[in-house]
Chains A and B, each alone.
Chain A
């Protein structure tokens, strides 16, 4: 692999975060096939160099075969760029993507609230509803759901839970205010924006009209990053008795809330 080849491979990977040899879902263009050939022919040292370069960008280069995960043709390979939790890629933008959930007049905070809530509920459809743990990457082929199911899940969440909360207690929460002010039309609109956004970002695949499935990249990232990033946050949401001894370890290892402080 010449530096020229490495430049081509890394540019494609940064733009798409995956290179696949074969896919039943999408046509593989010649450029991508050529890159697979380059990666196949590369020596161990060259792949290591590429991996190191990608680590510098804040990614782990993961190579998957038909033996590692379902949905890859025998003999074919898939290369994925998985985000590292201890480094942030300066080329990636997240917050502005999330803010795209809102329209021009929607406040950023409101867009973010809708996104976060729908994001958790879509995870619920792909994982919890199927009894699937975040580590079960291999089950990504079974993760499909429809737009209607997601809309129904959001409506059930708002009508069956949020609106039943005591306004005197929950009124201080902005999330409560935003969701309880929903008038009926916002849910399908926000769900559609969420799905479009996730498909464009390569986190979901639209496998049929209004039917969606988790992408392999999203499943791989979930397995790699759930324990370090999301699980501590979810555990914190649980009401727990004060156990100062057990609190010491998370304090030492979890990232700080202070944005001015460097995250190690």
Chain B
């Protein structure tokens, strides 16, 4: 009958955690006890299986993005810390009232404020989203300065997906002509064909009057 310490002996032997003397002694027991020996063998097989099927290393999905996200988040944390330190200066800024009106998520305010301040003081060479506003409260905007990608990313959460059956057509615009009087812009392709005409309706909403055959 095995008792808990004996169970431990079994795995200690398996995992080579025994002293040479202990090992010799245990191996003698194995020879004398076929049941124990069978159990030890079964456990050894299991160990091998597990080891060969659980890799020590696995490819990270989107490895470049993984690395750049880490950098971005570290920078965001630094910015937030600086913002906290620079708080007296930020409070007096006239832009803060603009942000209070426009921005819903407080975190975004903090980050943009800190980001704008920090980047200005360090004479940044990247693009900066100074303020952002989403008319639909369901949509949230977050800005990320991604130095690895050398780009500024504006993330929009809460957008409805474009229907799968919709053909999202692209246009290859060669040139555009704006008629200020009619307040319309005509887009032309390389062959001089009209791709579409942009105008505005009475409510200042964009209106696409017509377009030729879009690509896609």
> Do A and B belong to a common assembly?
no
Interface residues of A (CB under 8 A from B): none
